[in-house]
Chain A
Amino acid sequence: MFCFNCGCRLSEKNFCTGCGADVGLYKKIMYTANRFYNEALDKAKVRDLSGAVVSLRQCIKLDKNHIDARNLLGLIYFERGEVVAALSEWVMSKNIRSEKNIADDYIDAIQNNPGRLEAYNQTIKKYNMALTYCQQDSLDLAVIQLKKVVSMNSRFVQARQLLALLYINSQDLERAKKELDRALSIDANNTMTLRYLKEVEEMTPTDEERIRKKKEAIVYRSGNDTVIQPVGKKEMVGLQTLINIIIGVAIGVGIAWFLVLPSKIQQAQTEVNEKYKEVSEQLDAKTLETEELTTQINELIQEKDSLSSSLSEAQGNKVLLQAYTDLIEAVLMRMNKTGDEMQIADMLEQIDKKYLQDEATDSFKNLYQALRDDISKVVAKNSYNTGYAAFRAEDYDTAIKNLERAYQYDPSNGEALYNLGNSYNKKGDTSKAAEIYEQVVALFPNTEKARKSQNYIRQIKGE
């Protein structure tokens, strides 16, 4: 033991022989620390690791430089599977005394085997993961993780305790007890382990309860197997079979409902979707095609309209040209005396009446009318003579043609109109004949022709 003031080795006196400092209290602290250490050592020897840890922590609180206490504490931590805590203590111990320290060996033993250190670390990570699962209420996953942990590091007391707690929670008392027994074999006086063990024992059915349950069952051997059949089940065989069948059917229907049916529905939906997609694509293609055709139709209609318009224009031009040609020829015929009045009349009649009425210019109309007036007397006379001769000769078509022309060129010629009616009448076209006769009655009243016409009208109408 050394003086806290000057570092001299202390004697049995309560003061330092080097600096004279009062070390009585200091020595008492050191002695107490040693006593805690000895106590921890005794506890560790009988595997009361938890008790040893408590004593060693007390010792270190009194004397932080207690190398043996730190080394032993690290050793106990390591024994309980808490590798990091162990390393921490040994490193601090080595820091206090770097030479002739057994902590060196412990640290080397771990550091020289990185694979083992990594395995310890993985164990700790899995334990922490299991704890997280517990907090998230995923207890099954936690049990799986903890099983891995204890298989990798069988001395991990905390993991075994947590695993036992989970087994107790799930009423798996046998496994809980097994885990607690193993935890107890490592740390014999751990309060938590003992408390859990007591709880498990309280929850475990007593022997009397087991015997009573056993009595309720019939035990017999079938070959190498021991069959335990509960009493009172025999009478229920028929009913039980029926119930089993019903349950089986229910399960079958359930499977069909929850597994097969959704799958079928899904498949049908997929097929419908594919069909729908296919039809949609076809519809789109058809719509596109229709649009293209509509566009083409519209273009063709426009082209047709354009061509019709061009055609109409061309036809209009043709009519105009023909009208001018006919009129010019008729005029030339008159001027050059190359044709008689009848030929000129034929030429004038070839001019399109519609054009003459609607489109012809005033000069065209004037020229036409002048030429027509010039030949009208001769044409009217000749046509009447020809027409009347034809009428007499019963050539009514010729008569009608010439008499019509005669009346056109000379509207005062009532004979021409009357004989025109007669020609139609003789030809058998009575309705036309009646129409002509009515004109005669209207235009030439109080004449012999009017009276005769009236008679013919009566005859035709059957009065």
Chain B
Amino acid sequence: MIDFEEELKKFHPSLEVEDVEDAIYNQDVTDLADVLVKLVKEAKEEYGDDGLAEG
């Protein structure tokens, strides 16, 4: 049986046109590729090119 009140909570206000700018700026644009690049960069800084190659 559907609980009306509970179901209602699942609906959220839709973004209006005036909010599009904020929506774009606030979007989390970090992807897994960024994470990977960051990890590689940190490893390089810690161990140098040789260390990374050995690892």
Interface residues of A (CB under 8 A from B): 4-5, 21-22, 25-26, 29-30, 60-65, 82-85, 87-88, 91-92, 117, 120-121, 124-125, 127-128, 131, 134-135, 158, 161-162, 165, 168-169, 192, 195-196, 199
Q: Is the CB of B2 within 8 A of A63?
A: no
Query: Do most interface residues of chain A lie in helix, strand or loop, or is the interface mixed?
Result: helix
Q: Is the CB of B2 within 8 A of A62?
A: no
Most buried by A among B4, B14, B40: B14
User: Which residues on the B side are within 8 Å of A196 (C-beta)?
Assistant: 2
Q: Which residue of B lies closest to A84 (CB)?
A: B15
User: Which residues on the A side are within 8 Å of B16 (C-beta)?
Assistant: 84, 121, 124-125, 128
Q: Is the CB of A92 within 8 A of B27?
A: yes
User: Which residues on the A side are within 8 Å of B29 (C-beta)?
Assistant: 64, 92
- 16 A-B Cβ contacts within 8 A? A4-B33, A4-B37, A22-B52, A26-B33, A61-B31, A64-B34, A83-B17, A91-B20, A124-B15, A128-B16, A135-B8, A158-B14, A168-B2, A168-B4, A192-B10, A199-B2
Interchain nearest-CB distance for B13 vs A (Å): 4
With A4-B36, A158-B14, A162-B11 in contact, do A84 and B31 touch (Cβ < 8 Å)?
no
Rounded to whole angstroms, the CA-CA distance of A135 and B10 in the bound complex is 12
With A63-B31, A131-B11, A165-B4 in contact, do A29 and B36 touch (Cβ < 8 Å)?
yes
Is B46 engaged at the interface, CB distance under 8 Å to the other chain? no
Across the interface, A82 reaches (CB within 8 A) one of B11, B14, B19, B27, namely B14
Q: Is the CB of A84 within 8 A of B33?
A: no
Most buried by B among A83, A84, A117, A121: A84
How many residues in B have their beta carbons less than 8 Å from beta carbons of A? 29
User: Which residues on the B side are within 8 Å of A30 (C-beta)?
Assistant: 33
Interchain nearest-CB distance for B45 vs A (Å): 14
User: Which residues on the A side are within 8 Å of B27 (C-beta)?
Assistant: 88, 92
Is B50 engaged at the interface, CB distance under 8 Å to the other chain? no
Query: Do most interface residues of chain B lie in helix, strand or loop, or is the interface mixed?
Result: helix
With A82-B14, A85-B15, A128-B14 in contact, do A64 and B20 touch (Cβ < 8 Å)?
no
Most buried by A among B8, B10, B17, B23: B17
User: Which residues on the A side are within 8 Å of B31 (C-beta)?
Assistant: 60-65
10 additional contacts (CB under 8 A) given A4-B37, A61-B32, A127-B14: A29-B33, A84-B14, A84-B19, A92-B29, A124-B15, A134-B11, A135-B8, A162-B11, A165-B11, A196-B2
Q: Is the CB of B36 within 8 A of A131?
A: no
Q: Is the CB of B17 within 8 A of A131?
A: no
Interface residues of B (CB under 8 A from A): 1-2, 4, 7-8, 10-20, 23-24, 27, 29-34, 36-37, 40, 52
Interchain nearest-CB distance for A117 vs B (Å): 7
Across the interface, A26 reaches (CB within 8 A) one of B4, B10, B13, B36, namely B36
Q: Is the CB of A88 within 8 A of B32?
A: no
Across the interface, A124 reaches (CB within 8 A) one of B14, B40, B52, namely B14
Interchain nearest-CB distance for A269 vs B (Å): 45
Rounded to whole angstroms, the CA-CA distance of A82 and B15 in the bound complex is 8
Across the interface, B17 reaches (CB within 8 A) one of A4, A121, A127, namely A121
Interchain nearest-CB distance for A50 vs B (Å): 13
Q: Which residue of B lies closest to A64 (CB)?
A: B31
With A84-B20, A91-B24, A162-B11 in contact, do A169 and B33 touch (Cβ < 8 Å)?
no
Rounded to whole angstroms, the CA-CA distance of A4 and B12 in the bound complex is 38
Rounded to whole angstroms, the CA-CA distance of A135 and B20 in the bound complex is 25
Interchain nearest-CB distance for A82 vs B (Å): 6
Rounded to whole angstroms, the CA-CA distance of A29 and B19 in the bound complex is 32
User: Which residues on the A side are within 8 Å of B37 (C-beta)?
Assistant: 4-5, 26
Rounded to whole angstroms, the CA-CA distance of A135 and B12 in the bound complex is 11
Q: Which residue of B lies closest to A162 (CB)?
A: B11
Rounded to whole angstroms, the CA-CA distance of A92 and B37 in the bound complex is 21
User: Which residues on the B side are within 8 Å of A128 (C-beta)?
Assistant: 13-14, 16
Interchain nearest-CB distance for A341 vs B (Å): 134
Q: Is the CB of A85 within 8 A of B23?
A: yes
Q: Which residue of B lies closest to A142 (CB)?
A: B8
